[in-house]
A and B are shown apart, each in its own frame.
Chain A
Amino acid sequence: MKRRAFLALLVASAAWADEPAPRVIPISARKFEFSPAELELKLGEPVVLELTTEDVHMGFDAPALGLHADILPGRVARVPFTPDKPGSFEFACDVFCGSGHEEMSGVIKVRS
């Protein structure tokens, strides 16, 4: 690698290292609940939701925050976001998964 390119990479790496790593929040889905079903986040704090399912194909939908993911068995769905408004925001499973599907929901509380 040429010296100039190497220095540029070093500078870029240092800048990236100054950014706080986003907090990773695991969320597990199973018939018919999310765990945890209630999240408390800080306004402006970057997070990554890591969604997994213990049984069947599920969905994660928080329309007021513009967040959505399909949660497939054996995979991790990563949803990065930074809350930019305080309040309580509902999320729900939007993939029909059985007789308790309608009750499968949770809330994200964003504190200022």
Chain B
Amino acid sequence: MQGIDRRQFLKVAGLGGLVFASGLARGAETYASGADEFFFVQLSDTHWGFQGAPNPDAAGTLPKAIAAVNALDPQPDFIVFTGDLTHTTDDGAERRRRLTQFKELISGLRTKEIRLMPGEHDASLDNGEAYREFFGPTHYSFAHKGVHFIALDNVSDPAGRIGDEQLAWLAADLAKQPRDSRIVVLTHRPLFPLYPQWDWATRDGDKAIELLMPHRNATVFYGHIHQEHHFKTAHIEHHAAKSLIFPQPAPGSVPKRAPVAWDPAQPYRGLGFRQIEAERGEYKLTEFPVVRV
């Protein structure tokens, strides 16, 4: 496993974010035929229903992010939310109330193609039952303009396992793809053991990575850790997204994991979403804040 060199980041003036050009080592000839350019947006860890000092504007942050996404021109082809749509609750009725409110809020997005998946806050206490009532299957695949997308569920099992049944489904799904296909995995937890001491891992994530290994153009986008993070396992890149509720400290940087405190001087610092451009076999990542300063 290896980190990604920060020199690969290119500062983009005026956007208030960073662009990361991913997949640079890949041969453009692989995508010479039939590959369309497009972009999608990743939002993550909205934790609708959270209340607490780490975000005094918890009820206002997601609406602000939706407004920011709606202001993009042109609009993305589709939008993905990589889990923890709602903040957990032991009360099943309250969980459904939060899922209802979340569904109503995202109906205000101008882009109507929205891909969702659960996080452990949505699904781990009831094995995904309430989530499925609202949004359907917790793992699935779809194709978009030459890219094969796979949503993996590593949260409906509270122990953070994908499970043998879903792994068998993944193997069958990947078996239909040529080895040089562009494959994007969307999931909540990191598939690699980023920092298991803080539960930043998937117990059987190594099995999913093993299945992806023969596919030389596989990339993973995930959430869970509430911060931007870029990593490689062999040729597979893993990109974590910022949260839309509160940032978390860098892995192992503090003795005990706890949300980064809200800074009144810099509200919404560390929160945001990203745009991912798929272009000639590369993924260009642009990070956006919730609000422009």
Which A residues are closer than 8 A to B by beta carbons?
Answer: 57, 59, 61, 63-64, 70, 90-99, 101-103, 105
Contact = CB atoms under 8 A, between A and B. Distances in A.
A92 B258 CA distance: 13
A64 B88 contact: no
Q: Is the interface of B mostly helix, strand, loop or mixed?
A: loop
A56 B258 CA distance: 23
A105 B158 contact: no
A64 B160 contact: no
Interface string B105-136: 00000000000000010001100000000000
Given A70-B159, A98-B125, A103-B256, 13 more contacts: A63-B193, A63-B196, A92-B198, A94-B159, A94-B199, A95-B160, A96-B125, A96-B159, A96-B160, A99-B90, A101-B120, A102-B257, A103-B257
Nearest to A100: B88
A12 to B, nearest CB: 39
Contacts of A64: 197
B166 interface: no
A57 B256 contact: no
Interface string B147-161: 000000001001110
Interface string B177-208: 00000000000000001001111010100000
A102 B245 CA distance: 15
A60 to B, nearest CB: 12
Given A92-B198, A94-B196, A105-B257, A99 B158 contact: no
B197 A92 contact: yes
Contacts of B70: none
Contacts of A103: 256-258
A41 B139 CA distance: 44
A57 B158 contact: yes
Given A61-B196, A92-B198, A97 B257 contact: no
Interface in B68-101: 87-90
Contacts of A93: 199
Contacts of B155: 96
Contacts of A97: 158
Nearest to B196: A63
Contact of A96 (B87, B120, B256, B257): B120
3 nearest CB pairs, A to B:
A96-B124, A63-B196, A96-B158
A47 B231 CA distance: 37
Most buried by A among B87, B89, B196, B203: B196
Contacts of A61: 196-197, 199
